[in-house]
Amino acid sequence: MEKNNLTNRTGAPISDNQNILTAGSRGPALLQDVWFLEKMAHFDREVIPERRMHAKGSGAYGIFKVTHDITKYTKAHLFSEIGKETPLFIRFSTVAGERGAADAERDIRGFALKFYTEEGNWDLVGNNTPVFFLRDPLKFPDLNHAVKRDPRTNMRSADNNWDFWTLLPESLHQVTITMSDRGLPKSYRHMDGFGSHTYSFISHEQKRYWVKFHFKTQQGIENLTNEEAKMIVAEDRESHQRDLYENIENGNFPTWKMYIQVMEEADANTYHINPFDLTKVWPHGDYPMIPVGEFTLNRNPSNYFAEVEQAAFNPATIVPGVGFSPDKMLQGRLFSYGDTQRYRLGVNHHQIPVNAPKCPYMAYHRDGAMRTDGNYGSQIAYEPNSFSQWQEQPAYQEPPLALSGSADHWDHRVDDDYFSQPGNLFRLMSDTQKQALFNNTADAVGGAQEFIQIRHVRNCYKADPHYGKGVAKALGLSWDTVCNFEGYDMKRMTDMN
């Protein structure tokens, strides 16, 4: 058969793709028009659930290359020698908007990497910010209900969004970044990436280190003002997708340099900051940035649905030499991603080519909907077995992690230092950046009720008096009102002492 001939899904020729089959030229359609039925039935199922978060995104392929030796910290194969190259896939995203949302919105950006290593895939599913709004994963569904659409109006709600954020003062660090000039990147090429959580490295000597991952854009940081973004969105809702796609298509390949911060395992017990608190950074003065390598994006996907929409990144997907940490948020994510992907894409989503490892995989998982890889043929499906098939590999066991304490719903609020790091960040800003922070905050929280605005101003004041006063001024709130407000739910207002 000629390759340009149209066929149905089982390969038979299609004689007419313009006219349905009817009884007479004006008569009703016939049930035996099976091509029409097949085409329509497939079309009816074209949409899969969008990602619950980060629904709008752009993907690209690239290569990671090691430039510095970090083998004393990790035995991970992808870092084994300088010059070693590992293929990868990245998906950038915005967070709160749906699949059709405009790109140039003030929001966090997702920065999800999938390294196809020789010892399995490693997914580092991070953001363009080093911290997050929360410390406890139990609050993650609430965060999303607060920032997504209101159940009655079906519109985004400044009240819901800021009521929630201001009641969780641990979110102020992330809120400050989001409202700063960096909260609205010009494109995905012009922002840094972070693993954000603390992970662990396991060395060849079976020693554990705590580690944070950083990716520095080599295109330079560039951001948009709210006004610039409004103009862009009016003309182009796909500005980030267009920028990434066209630059790669034109051979202008974007690059990021990778760095790590490394902490001795025992330091976690004595360091003055809880290193597993995702609302805090490790100051670079204490834990300097160590160069590791760089990655370059050099190929666009050829089919968006197959390769980007069906991509599944999961923080639980790690390789020997990389491990988790007790960060509660990370622990929560270890369940959520695989769970949502089994719902969004199906139990065999690891076989979709963009997700499949480039090395052999032998997991004994069998059957399930949409099994497409031969299902391990006639191999036996149990372990232990007497035939030396697919045995566990104890050499890869992690060193034991010492734990202590009683099982309880531990209240993370015993550490109530919500404000020193956002204050430090504020004090690092130039006057122009501070003014942008005030204005962007006022633009966003200005749509919420006054008591919520005041609660936010009080939180900002705790971080730095000038921060609170600047936001109050941009909101047109008198300082007297901020200090003496006695309205709604005073118990939950930040006190001013």
Q: Which of 182, 128, 186 is nearest to 425 (CA)?
A: 182
Feature table: binding site for heme: 337
HSE (CB half, 13 Å, CA atoms) of 246? Answer: 7
Q: How many helices (H) and strands (E) does the chain have?
A: 13, 10
- Least distance from ligand HEM to the Cβ atom of residue 451, Å: 28
CB 308 to ligand HEM: min, Å: 8
* Site residues for ligand HEM per CB under 6 A: 51-54, 57, 91, 93, 110, 112, 125-127, 132, 137, 140, 196, 311-313, 329, 332-333, 336-337, 340-341, 344
Nearest residue (CB) to ligand HEM, 212 versus 434: 212
What's the min distance (Å) between Cβ of 20 and ligand HEM? 37
Catalytic hit among 54, 173, 190, 349: 54
* H-helix or E-strand spanning residue 279: none
Q: For ligand HEM, give the closer residue by CB, 149 or 344.
A: 344
Which one, of 118, 101, 120, 117, lies nearest residue 109 by Cα?
Answer: 101
User: What is the C-alpha to C-alpha distance for residues 460 and 440, in angstroms, rounded to an integer?
Assistant: 14
**Cα–Cα distance between 191 and 182 in angstroms, integer?**
8
Q: Between the CA of residue 377 and those of 362, 366, 373, what are the distances in Å? A: 12, 10, 9
Nearer to ligand HEM, 106 or 114 (CB): 114
- 68 catalytic per annotation: no
Joined together, the tokens standing for residue 480 give: 């007297």
Do 278 and 197 meet the contact criterion of CB atoms below 8 Å apart? Answer: yes
End-to-end CA, the chain: 82
Q: Which is nearer to ligand HEM, 64 or 313 (CB)?
A: 313
CB of 233 to ligand HEM, least distance (A): 21
Question: Would you say 127 or 180 has its CB closer to ligand HEM?
Answer: 127
Long-range contacts of 338-347 (CB under 8 A, 24+ apart): 338/314, 340/51, 340/52, 341/312, 341/314, 343/49, 344/48, 344/49, 344/51, 344/312, 345/48, 345/310, 345/312, 346/370
Q: How crowded is residue 44: how many other Cβ atoms within 10 Å of its Cβ?
A: 8
Relative orientation angle of helices 450-463 and 431-445, to the nearest 10 degrees: 150
186 neighbors 222 (Cβ within 8 angstroms):
yes
Which candidate in 77, 121, 127, 459 is catalytic? 127
Q: Output 166 or 196, the one with its CB closest to ligand HEM.
A: 196
Q: Map residue 65 onto helix, strand or coil.
A: strand
Instruction: State which residue has the least CB distance to ligand HEM.
Output: 110
Cα–Cα dist 326/125, whole Å: 17
Q: How far apart are the C-alpha atoms of 175 and 473, rounded to whole Å?
A: 18
| Tokens describing residue 347 | 């139990």
* 436 φ, ψ (degrees, to nearest 5): -60, -40
Please state the closest distance from residue 336 (CB atom) to ligand HEM, in A. 4
Token readout for 44 is: 């009816």
Tokens describing residue 454: 């005041």
Helix axes 450-463, 420-428, angle to 10 degrees: 80
| Alpha-carbon gap, residue 184 to 410, rounded angstroms | 35
**What are the start-end ranges of the E strands in 250-395?**
255-264, 290-299, 322-323
SS3 396: helix
CB of 109 to ligand HEM, least distance (A): 8
Active site residue 121: no
From the CB of 103, what's the least distance to ligand HEM, in Å?
14
The residue among 215 and 337 lying less far from ligand HEM, judged by its C-beta, is 337
Q: Please, which residue, 110 or 169, has the CB nearer to ligand HEM?
A: 110
Residue 483 CB, nearest approach to ligand HEM (Å) = 35
Where in the sequence numbering do the catalytic residues fall?
54, 127
